[in-house]
Amino acid sequence: MTQKLAERSSIRAFRAGPYVLIIAEGKLPSPGHEVDIVQSRLRIYPPQYDLVARSLPGVYPQVVTPYLYGETVRFPADQPVVTVHHAEGSDQVEIKDSGAELSAYLQAVSGGTAGQADEATGFSKNLSFDEAFASALESLPATTTKTADAMDRVQVVEIGGLFGGIAGFHDMYVRIRRTSDT
In the predicted structure, residue 89 carries a pLDDT above the cut 80: yes
In the predicted structure, residue 153 carries a pLDDT above the cut 80: yes
Q: What per-residue confidence (pLDDT) applies to 24?
A: 96
Which of 97, 127, 151 finishes a domain?
97
Q: What per-residue confidence (pLDDT) applies to 47?
A: 95
Q: Give the pLDDT confidence of 9-64 residue by residue, as tens digits.
A: 999 999 988 899 999 999 999 999 999 999 999 889 999 999 999 999 998 898 99
Q: Are residues 7 and 93 in the same domain?
A: yes
- DSSP output for 146-165: --TT--EEEEEEEEEEEEET
- The parent domain of residue 125 ranges over 100-180
Q: Are residues 118 and 92 in the same domain?
A: no
* CA–CA separation, 16 and 99 (whole Å): 10
Q: Are residues 170 and 114 in the same domain?
A: yes
Whether 46 and 126 have beta carbons less than 8 Å apart is answered as no
Give the 3-state secondary structure of residue 103.
Answer: helix
Q: Are residues 87 and 19 in the same domain?
A: yes
Q: Are residues 92 and 154 in the same domain?
A: no
Q: What per-residue confidence (pLDDT) applies to 68?
A: 93
Q: Give the pLDDT confidence of 136-152 residue by residue, as tens digits.
A: 999 888 877 677 666 77
User: Residue 49 to residues 24, 81, 90, 100, 102: CA-CA distances in angstroms?
Assistant: 12, 12, 9, 26, 22
* CA–CA separation, 98 and 79 (whole Å): 15
Q: The dihedral of CA 70, 75, 78, 81: what is its sign?
A: negative
* CA–CA separation, 106 and 16 (whole Å): 6
Beta bridge partners of residue 24, listed in sequence order: 11, 69
Q: What per-residue confidence (pLDDT) applies to 113?
A: 47
Q: Give the pLDDT confidence of 97-134 residue by residue, as tens digits.
A: 988 888 878 878 876 544 567 889 999 999 999 999 99
| Region 145-164 average pLDDT | 83
Q: Are residues 131 and 86 in the same domain?
A: no
Q: Are residues 125 and 114 in the same domain?
A: yes
